[in-house]
């Protein structure tokens, strides 16, 4: 474990004067030296515009940029032309809802979502439903925080145009059976859009095997820099879609009154691209390729078993398959107060509605506390978290 942790310099800092115990990985992961070095190398040795220059630096940076696309595509089992770079998964999901949805949805078409979705996979569909007259419908998770495939099929039989669903819940930790969901949806000619923000950092993703039509993810949750995400979409779908945004770099020809778009993927990447961020994300992918994919080493289950000993605790979600996320509340204590006290012990956890208000409404709570782990977290840190949590509870009750 020390061999892994040495790659993350921020783990050596203090938080409120205490040793940092970083447990907010589901929001943003930490960044290893190799990613930082790759970004610095770009700015110091081949800083130039991508796709716009014939001079040597321009050729180098363009090659590095497209090599990064190839690497990231290969990492998730996609072809390079199927990868569109965006600012984050939020922009990716907006791209799908707007660019695909505006042209393909009409009045009374059904958009199917679940009540465990992040706001980023709800609000874009709400907006496009209002623009097109399409109808939003929802599948609700059960007492364990899982989706029922029979209920999904019952909805699909009603003629659903698109199903947009999270691969893994950022509150419940639930890993949804996306491959089975896609197979089921395609039987009824329904497209499937997957929010992969929480799954891509923890699972080996193969979009070809999943057979999803769209797959969105963010770099900053998987060791990469902020400001970079990606959208995978099947090539035949991308070729039929019009651009979400327009400008330089995504055109073949421009006249005074009409313009002609270039080929995918560049058709969906207007303006100067996020070069350093793309290169940084590619470096993050390289790091993830090298680590042990059993790296979550049961730490969430370990913490859950210890938390169950605490009086008045409610832990949300008991799925059969989960990411290392533990969301909970303590009776008569506000999650924000817990987060404040733990902060002064050096421990960072998330509190609030987690950008999942419909999920919170289903649970009949206004918010909760969430500890989320990654492969660089240790069992020692887990013990510190539980110990200081108990101390905080005693102070607040």
Catalytic center residues: 355
On whether the CB atoms of residues 61 and 50 are closer than 8 A, the answer is yes
* 292 token code pair: 């042990």
HSE of 64, CA atoms in CB hemisphere, 13 A: 27
Q: Enter the tokens of residue 270.
A: 């207007």
91-105: b (≥16 Cβ within 10 Å) or e: bbbbbbbbbbbeebb
d(CA 276, CA 253): 27
Element (H, E) at 330: strand 325-330
What kind and span of H or E run contains 43? helix 33-45
Side by side, the strands of the sheet bearing 214-218 are 83-86, 229-233, 214-218, 191-195, 160-166, 110-114, 135-139
- Whole-angstrom Cα distance, residue 301 to residue 339? 21
> What's the DSSP call for residue 82?
G
Q: How many CA atoms lie within 13 A of 338 on its CB side?
A: 28
- Would residue 180 be called left, alpha or beta, if left means φ above 0 and alpha means ψ between -120 and 50 degrees? alpha
Q: Give buried/exposed letters for 113-137 (b at 16+ CB in 10 A, else e).
A: bbbbbbbbbbbbbeebbeebebbee
Q: CA 148, 354, 179, 299 torsion: positive or negative? A: negative
Radius of gyration (Cα) for the chain, nearest Å?
Answer: 22
Peptide bond connecting 237 to the previous residue in cis, omega within 30 degrees of 0: no
Burial of 252 (0-12, 13-18, 19+ CB in 10 A): exposed
């Amino acid at each position: 474990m020390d061999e892994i942790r040495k790659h993350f310099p921020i783990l050596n800092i203090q938080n409120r004067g205490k040793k940092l115990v970083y447990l907010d990985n589901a929001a943003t992961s930490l960044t290893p030296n190799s990613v930082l070095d790759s970004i610095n190398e770009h700015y110091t040795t081949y800083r130039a515009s991508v796709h716009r220059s014939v001079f040597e630096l321009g050729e180098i940076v363009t090659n590095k940029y497209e090599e990064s696309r190839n690497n990231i595509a290969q990492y998730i089992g996609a072809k390079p032309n199927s990868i569109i770079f965006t600012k984050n998964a939020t922009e990716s999901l907006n791209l799908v809802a707007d660019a695909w949805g505006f042209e393909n949805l009409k009045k009374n078409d059904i958009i199917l979502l679940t009540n465990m979705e992040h706001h980023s996979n709800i609000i874009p569909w709400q907006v496009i439903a209002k623009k097109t007259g399409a109808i939003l419908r929802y599948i609700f998770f059960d007492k364990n925080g899982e989706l029922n495939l029979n209920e999904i099929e019952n909805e699909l039989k009603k003629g659903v145009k698109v199903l947009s669903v999270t691969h893994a819940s950022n509150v419940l930790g639930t890993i949804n059976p996306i491959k089975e969901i896609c197979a089921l949806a395609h039987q009824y000619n329904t497209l499937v859009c997957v929010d992969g923000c929480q799954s891509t950092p923890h699972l080996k993703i193969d979009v070809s095997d999943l057979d999803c039509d769209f797959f969105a993810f963010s770099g900053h949750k998987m060791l990469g820099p902020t400001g970079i995400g990606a959208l995978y979409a099947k090539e035949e779908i991308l070729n039929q879609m019009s651009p979400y945004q327009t400008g330089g770099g995504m055109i073949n020809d421009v006249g005074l009154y009409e313009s002609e778009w270039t080929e995918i993927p560049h058709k969906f990447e207007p303006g100067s691209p996020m070069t350093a961020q793309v290169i940084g994300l590619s470096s993050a992918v390289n790091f993830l390729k090298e680590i042990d994919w059993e790296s979550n080493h049961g730490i969430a289950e370990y913490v859950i078993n210890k938390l169950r000993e605490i009086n008045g605790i409610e832990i949300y979600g008991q799925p059969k398959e989960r990411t290392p996320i533990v969301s909970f509340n303590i009776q008569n204590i506000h999650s924000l107060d817990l987060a404040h006290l733990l902060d002064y012990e050096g421990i960072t956890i998330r509190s609030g509605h987690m950008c999942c208000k419909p999920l919170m409404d289903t649970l009949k709570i206004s918010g909760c506390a969430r500890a989320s782990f990654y492969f660089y977290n240790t069992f020692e840190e887990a013990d510190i978290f539980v110990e200081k949590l108990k101390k905080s509870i005693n102070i607040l009750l």
